[in-house]
Amino acid sequence: MTFFSLTCSVLSMGFLSCSADVKEMGPTVDEIEIIEKDDAAEPEIGYDECLEMAGVTELMAQKALDYISATQTDDESLYNCVYVYAPSLETYADEPEKLAARIALLGFKGVYLSPGGNRLTTQDQWLRTFISTCTGLGLDVYATFYEDPSVFVSQAGADASLDKFLTYNRSVSYEERFAGVSADLEPHTIKEDIGLGWTWDTQNHNGAGGQNDCLLKVTLDRLDYAQSKLYGLSLHEAIWWNYQNMYNEGKVTYGDVNQFTEVCDWVSIMAYRNTTDGVWSYSEPTLKACSSEDCVNICVKTATNDEASTTLMPNGWKALLETMSVLRDKGLEYGCFNGLDMFQYEALETMWEWKEDNEYNAE
């Protein structure tokens, strides 16, 4: 039984060749213990206890149920996840259990957590407590850590990132382990040479073997390598909405969603627009192209750290729920649809705490 059902019952160094084969990136460790979580384990923390841990008002408790109703199916088939970054860790510096409980109340099944390198290398107590609480609530936690430019540049960079993650997982108890890695390799943001000799230009660096194509291939190579080192743990990747369009138009030979899902367990489309139709127009080409089941999430944005055209926050809480409901229903028409993700928790919580429909403040 998932937590949602419990709530319902209550109510190589240097340059790479663009044509280099993935498997030529070097050997991995021959034998290693598989470190994975038992997905069949029942949540140990029930709804009433979670509600008390979360410390929310009656209004927030009802809004949480409304959010679940707008984002989940009756049979709980969607794997909805949320991004959690440093501001939330700072806000709940002394209350990791409370943060975990609040995330669970909103019906999320997975957390993409950005822990920072120091927490991974020091067996940080906050991190261990947060993950173990999530485990008790039936939530999976993924380390958003495979994203540094050094990962693109060399296998050594990839190893440095993955080894920190694996070392942490080996050093803690079962319930304190990550369920996998949430990668955030974004080749389209590489506007200056980071050591590969290629930069991204959506309009001018196209064609088979072009710089955009090479950057996409390196991304897929690095994801494939990560999968080979995770030994059964899950691998997720956030993908730009425009990769599929560029692939469909023949501008690149890499970037198709099916190439990503060959090396990842699932992907999230960064469909950051401020209208329902806008989010769907960014999402549909990838969903149409995908040939696998349950492997594509649509990720929307409530954070206001970018231009206004990318965030749903100013629209208000009711509008957010309407958008999520429409995206869920449209997404379910495609077998590959896997869930609705949120970027990011801090901003969603701000909306959740509003007493009126829209208390948005642009300052």
**Calpha distance 136→103 (Å, rounded):** 13
Name the residue with tokens 């039936």. 138
Assigned token pair, 177: 């382990």
Q: What is the pLDDT of residue 39?
A: 58
Give the pLDDT score at 358: 97
| Six-digit token string for 330 | 């449209």
Question: Strands, DSSP E only, in the chain?
Answer: 81-84, 110-113, 140-143, 180-183, 234-240, 266-270, 296-301, 337-343
Q: Take residue 351 and report the two structure tokens written for it.
A: 């909306």
For the entire predicted model, the pTM comes to 0.91
Other beta carbons less than 10 A from residue 299's beta carbon = 26
Give kind and range of the element (H or E) at residue 89. helix 86-91
- Distance CA(130)–CA(96), nearest Å, equals 5
CB-based burial label for 295 (10 Å; 0-12, 13-18, 19+)? buried
The residue count of the chain comes to: 363
Pairwise CA distance, residues 119 & 64, whole Å: 30
Residue 72 · residue 323 · CB < 8 Å: no
Report which secondary-structure segment, H or E, holds 131.
Answer: helix 125-136
DSSP state of 249: T
Listed in sequence order, the DSSP H helices in 154-275 are 155-171, 211-230, 242-248, 257-263
Are 266 and 295 in contact by the 8 Å Cβ rule? The answer is yes
Contact in structure between 20 and 221 (CB atoms under 8 Å)? yes
Give the Cα separation of 261 and 200 in Å (integer).
22
Q: Which residue has the tokens 């709940």?
A: 92
Kindly calculate the radius of gyration of the chain based on its CA atoms and give it in whole angstroms. Answer: 20
Q: Judge residue 304's burial from the number of C-beta atoms within 10 Å of its C-beta, 0-12 exposed, 13-18 middle, 19 or more buried.
A: middle
> What ranges do the domains of the chain cover?
3-8+55-353
CATH 2.115.10.20 holds for 3-8+55-353 = no
Task: Compute CA distances 53 → 10, 44, 102, whole Å.
Answer: 16, 14, 8
Answer whether 335's CB lies under 8 Å from 293's CB. Answer: yes
Tally helices (H) and strands (E) across the chain: 15, 8
User: Mean pLDDT, 10 residues at a time, over the chain (363 residues)?
Assistant: 47 40 35 56 89 98 98 97 98 98 98 92 95 98 96 97 96 96 98 97 98 98 98 96 98 98 98 98 98 98 95 98 98 98 98 97 80
Cβ within 8 Å of residue 215, ≥6 positions away:
152, 187, 188, 190, 196, 198, 200
- CA pair distance 134, 166, nearest whole angstrom: 19
189: CB partners within 8 A, 6+ apart: 200
